[in-house]
Amino acid sequence: MILKNIKKGNIQDLNLDHLHFKVVNDPLSINLINLHSIDGIIIKNNDLKSVRQILNQLRTKNDPRIYLMPVYLESRSLFKKMGQEVDGYLMEGINSLNSSTGETIRTRIQHITNDVSIVQDYNDRMIIKTLQYAYTRSSELAPYRDRLSPIGYHFPFLSTVISDKEISKITARLEKYTAKNVLSAKVEDKVNLCHTCHSSYLNFHETCSKCSSIDLEYENLVHHFRCAYIGPESDFKHNDQLICPKCDKQLKHIGIDYDKPAEVATCNSCTHTSQETKMKARCVDCGENNSLPQLSTIAIKEYELTSEGVEWILAKNLGKDVIEAELKDLSVVPPSIYKLLIAQEKARAANKVNGSSFAAKILIDDEVFSELAEDFRSQLKEEILNIMKTYLREIDILSAKHTGEYDIMLPDSSQVEAFEIYHLLLDNLNKLLSDNIAEQDQVVTGDLRKL
């Protein structure tokens, strides 16, 4: 009966009991509807991409009654694919439009009274909207496998409103909410992403350690105990038998006559033989040949709002909390303040009879970071800061212009003390970086001067 009521055309009305729905079939229709006057949208389109575009139009609005509005599909098969992204589908004999679930959603939408537009950052705003969506649907945020998504997974609501390029970074932001106990998380999968385009569509293969060709042939080595000859299995192959090329004896029994102690790979392009092959991941989307350390790995998790999360979602001061989460590490002073402190210390040192103060500069080669995957890069940055904090005293002041340039003030220090701290920093940072970046061994430099 419901299906019969849907007439052809771009936008149609559908009234059921006291509820009023609009039936749409293309993304542009959304902007032609007075969305405040309806109770839900029915999408009459079987194309996944178009449906997502319609959802994007709806979910990016600023009014919670609109962006959280119930959405239904006409197609059952598409509903199966999209799962939590919509609230049901239409079918003869089944009426999900005025079900109790739909009623709960509408009631819960009324609970959302705070204004997300005060959150400056777009991505954070979209995350909060997603959490509100999860609240109104009383469900967890369960990502589902999706070949069209660059990370291979589609998050309900979130993936519809965030660009493909940004989606890989969103997981890191969601972690902040987990840390704040707004969300609980359960790991569903881990995906590797290309370091240039963040796509998960990767083709893994072993390559020649010399010429990077993928045309490798693997062979077992065979060791003939009797005469100590050892070589690839092809040296021994003679029709269906293994005959030793050195002593012409037949090898009959593995473990008694011979064994296979290892495997070697021979490159058909450059003839190099080796047991050391390089694993590479070619990105199907952009063609980049990633080495394994270049790949960034993200955990795909199923998130659920905690009771604290529900409280937070319904609270009025959403924006403030987000800003707090963004606060920078206070132990590293900004360059402008460092400049002031140095000037003060210079003046102070000039008036002092005993004691001296020093200023050190530590420079890290930019190339160190450029080739690393983002996750690995931020880990490395954190470790650099940790090392600095370990060796600096409480009275020392650290400032960073960027990740490759650090200024350190060492007040009230003897020359020996200052020299020791400076060298400890240089040595340990060099060690850390040369452990992580094998090709270079002297990437940290700097200088130390008396104030």
- Give contact residues for other proteins (rule: CB under 8 A): 209, 221, 223, 225-232, 235, 246-247, 255-257, 259, 261-262, 264, 273-276, 438
Which phi and psi (to 5°) does residue 168 adopt? -65, -25
Nearest to 155 by CA among 196, 126, 182: 126
Q: How far is the CB of 419 from other proteins (least distance, A)?
A: 30
DSSP bridge partners of 298: 191
Q: How far is the CB of 235 from other proteins (least distance, A)?
A: 8
Q: Which is nearer to other proteins, 137 or 224 (CB)?
A: 224
Residue 181 corresponds to which tokens in the numbers above?
């106990």
Cβ–Cβ < 8 Å for 433, 324? no
CA dihedral (423, 424, 429, 430) positive or negative = positive
H or E, element range at 379: helix 374-391
Q: Which is nearer to other proteins, 232 or 335 (CB)?
A: 232
Q: How far is the CB of 326 from other proteins (least distance, A)?
A: 41
CA–CA gap between residue 24 and residue 9 (Å, rounded) = 8
Q: Which is nearer to other proteins, 93 or 255 (CB)?
A: 255
Q: How far is the CB of 203 from other proteins (least distance, A)?
A: 23
Phi and psi based region of residue 446 (left: phi greater than 0; alpha: psi -120 to 50; beta: remaining): left
Q: Which is nearer to other proteins, 264 or 300 (CB)?
A: 264
Kindly provide the residue ranges of all beta strands, DSSP E only, lying in 268-307, ordered along the sequence.
273-274, 278-283, 289-291, 296-305
Cβ–Cβ < 8 Å for 277, 209? yes
Q: How far is the CB of 218 from other proteins (least distance, A)?
A: 14
Cβ–Cβ < 8 Å for 189, 275? no
Q: Which is nearer to other proteins, 65 or 237 (CB)?
A: 237
Q: Reduced to 3 states, what is the DSSP secondary structure of residue 57?
A: helix
Q: How far is the CB of 137 from other proteins (least distance, A)?
A: 52
Cβ–Cβ < 8 Å for 68, 135? no
Q: Reduced to 3 states, what is the DSSP secondary structure of residue 201?
A: coil
Q: Which is nearer to other proteins, 353 or 438 (CB)?
A: 438
Residue 415 corresponds to which tokens in the numbers above?
């020359």
Q: How far is the CB of 278 from other proteins (least distance, A)?
A: 9
Q: Which is nearer to other proteins, 279 or 325 (CB)?
A: 279
Question: Which pairing describes strands 216-224 and 258-259: parallel, antiparallel, or unpaired?
Answer: antiparallel
Q: How far is the CB of 289 from other proteins (least distance, A)?
A: 17
Q: Which is nearer to other proteins, 60 or 209 (CB)?
A: 209
